[in-house]
């Protein structure tokens, strides 16, 4: 019989809770993955996943949660913790390699207190002026979080990401910016499945096509995460470290990659 998994999300203090409902097997694991990545596209600091209403028909399908947890480590740097597995599935969950606790309270205690006021977001239409609004958002974030050194790079990144939606995706979008330690995370979520393409250096005679090249230049890492209803294109900005006095500069023309 066909199987399916549904996700119900509640924005609850101190962390959002995603409840997975249904039967997990080889057919429904992709749906579960898409559901959790959709939650992560909002760049939460952590996500509590309630699996009390999830039936594990195939223990090997639990590997999808390991994959999602690894993706979350890359972006948005969020922690995933699963809780309340049904008694019949406890052994399978313990052998899955993901973080799992008996109750939601245990999950929240394990995560610890969240960092306050570490995310800003705005919904926008694909229209003229969207990039300006997005720059205002990241500029406000840099000022609020005392990261003025990232303001220039953040404006470059968000301008290119938003303009790409305006020019190509042509869908409503959500622009979000979050703080993870010293790093700043910027993401633009739209409703087009078309993936951005990075072709490297653009010839000087070429018109346009430099958006992702600019992002690649200023970001420590960037990427695109496919979602069930579109995608999120994101970038991570890391402050430059002050060089040690004992470090000699490299030869002219060399690049230092973070």
From CA 237, how far away is CA 179, in angstroms rounded?
Answer: 10
Q: Are 183 and 87 contained in the same domain?
A: no
Residue 242 within any structural domain of the chain = no
- Model pLDDT, residue 197: 63
Domain-terminating residue out of 111, 146, 179: 111
DSSP SS3 for 11: coil
- Model pLDDT, residue 249: 47
Q: Are 106 and 125 contained in the same domain?
A: no
The closest alpha carbon to 82, from 117, 119, 43, 56, belongs to 56
Highest-pLDDT range among 11-20, 73-82, 240-249: 73-82
Number of domains in the chain: 2
Q: Are 123 and 90 contained in the same domain?
A: no
Q: Are 96 and 123 contained in the same domain?
A: no
- Model pLDDT, residue 10: 85
pLDDT above 60 for 153: yes
- Model pLDDT, residue 2: 56
Residue 248 within any structural domain of the chain = no
From CA 252, how far away is CA 44, in angstroms rounded?
Answer: 41
pTM greater than 0.85: no
- Model pLDDT, residue 65: 96
Q: Where are the alpha helices (DSSP H) in 117-229?
A: 130-144, 151-164, 211-218
pLDDT above 70 for 168: yes
Range of the domain at 94: 5-111
Across the range 207-213, mean pLDDT stands at 57
Higher-confidence residue: 140 or 193?
140
Q: Are 174 and 90 contained in the same domain?
A: no
- Model pLDDT, residue 39: 92
- Model pLDDT, residue 19: 96
CATH number at residue 13: 3.30.750.24
pLDDT by residue (tens digit) across 9-52? Answer: 887 778 999 999 999 999 999 999 999 999 999 999 999 999 99
pLDDT by residue (tens digit) across 58-75? Answer: 999 999 999 999 999 989
Residue 225 within any structural domain of the chain = yes
CATH number at residue 218: 3.30.565.10
């Amino acid at each position: 019989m066909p199987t399916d998994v549904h996700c119900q999300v509640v924005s609850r203090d101190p962390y959002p809770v995603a409840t997975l409902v249904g039967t997990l097997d080889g057919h429904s694991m992709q749906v579960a993955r898409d559901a959790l990545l959709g939650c992560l596209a909002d760049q939460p600091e952590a996500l509590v996943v309630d699996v009390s209403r999830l039936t594990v028909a195939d223990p090997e399908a639990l590997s999808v949660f390991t994959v999602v947890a690894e993706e979350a480590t890359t972006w948005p740097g969020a922690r995933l913790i699963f809780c309340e597995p049904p008694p019949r599935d406890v052994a399978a969950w313990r052998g899955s390699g993901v973080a799992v606790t008996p109750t939601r309270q245990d999950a929240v205690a394990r995560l610890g207190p969240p960092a306050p006021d570490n995310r800003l977001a705005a919904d926008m239409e694909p229209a003229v002026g969207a990039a300006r609004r997005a720059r205002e958002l990241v500029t406000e974030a840099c000022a609020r979080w005392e990261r003025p050194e990232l303001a220039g790079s953040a404006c470059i990144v968000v301008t290119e990401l938003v303009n790409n939606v305006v020019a190509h995706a042509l869908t409503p979008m959500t622009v979000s910016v979050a703080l993870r330690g010293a790093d700043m995370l910027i993401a633009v979520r739209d409703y087009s499945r078309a993936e951005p393409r990075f072709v490297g250096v653009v010839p000087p005679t070429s018109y346009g096509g430099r958006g992702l090249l600019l992002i690649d230049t200023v970001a420590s890492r960037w990427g695109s995460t496919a979602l069930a209803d579109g995608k999120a294109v994101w970038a991570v900005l890391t402050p430059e470290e002050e060089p040690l006095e004992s470090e000699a500069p490299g030869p002219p023309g060399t690049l230092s990659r973070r």
